[in-house]
Amino acid sequence: MAGKVFFSVSMSLDGFSAPESMEGIRATPEQREQDPRLERWMAQWMELQAWIFPQRFFRENLNLGEGGEEGRDNDIARETFERTGASVMGMRMFDLGERAWPEEAPFHTPVFVVTHQQRVPWERPGGTTFHFVNDGIHSALRQARQVAGDRDVRIAGGSETILAHLNAGLVDEFSIALSPVLFGAGTRLFDGVDASRVALEPVRSEPSSRVTHLTYAVHPR
């Protein structure tokens, strides 16, 4: 039996899944000192994701060290990882991640990167292999489904890639960790959603001490 296609992201209460555009923002210490936008970007990003950083699973998976919280937030982070048999992501997310992930990238499954760039598969220690797909999201998703088997396919991000799948009717379900923060500006998760085609059915709403975990099934209208 084929798994589901889902996404799972953190979102600010006012609907942003990332601070202002990251175009042109670079992350070396020197660049950071030169560009005050990066300081602000990082501060907002940390607030948005504040719930996940202390979690034991997150720390282990990114090799950040032992220990960490082990409550419901941790279970949810772990469950999201364990259900995922393959991921699809956009090139911008890959570009950022390539600079930020540890050598042992945190996916431990095949990842299909939708891009115009031609590049041979990039195999990382720990089981993550990045495949670069040049013929669009349907092709990337088909390949991801094949390797995922019974497990689910995660549309990892960014929000443009998530929205492309949502509007194309390719998403079965999604989860949002709703963070207690207002951004005012940035990248809106649902910007450009085709509301005339996407209907939501509430599946689960689970408060933790840090965020509210919301899960919806997606149906065509």
Which residues are near its own copies by CB under 8 A?
A: 13-15, 176, 178, 180-185, 188-190, 192-196, 198-202, 204-207, 209-212, 214, 216
Q: Shortest Cβ distance from residue 75 to its own copies (Å)?
A: 17
Q: Shortest Cβ distance from residue 183 to its own copies (Å)?
A: 6
Q: Which is nearer to its own copies, 67 or 192 (CB)?
A: 192
Q: Which is nearer to its own copies, 140 or 166 (CB)?
A: 166
Q: Shortest Cβ distance from residue 84 to its own copies (Å)?
A: 23
Q: Which is nearer to its own copies, 125 or 202 (CB)?
A: 202
Q: Which is nearer to its own copies, 26 or 204 (CB)?
A: 204
Q: Shortest Cβ distance from residue 51 to its own copies (Å)?
A: 11
Which strand (E) or helix (H) includes residue 219? strand 212-220
CB atoms closer than 10 angstroms to residue 120: 8
How far is the CA of 94 from the CAs of 60, 112, 159, in angstroms? 21, 10, 13
The length of the chain is 221
Distance CA 51, CA 62 (A): 15
162 Cβ partners below 8 Å, 6+ apart? 7, 9, 155, 171, 189
Angle at 156 between CA 31 and CA 98, to 5 degrees: 35
Q: Shortest Cβ distance from residue 205 to its own copies (Å)?
A: 3
Q: Which is nearer to its own copies, 91 or 181 (CB)?
A: 181
Distance CA 112, CA 94 (A): 10
Q: Which is nearer to its own copies, 45 or 190 (CB)?
A: 190
| Helix/strand/coil for 54 | coil
Q: Shortest Cβ distance from residue 36 to its own copies (Å)?
A: 13
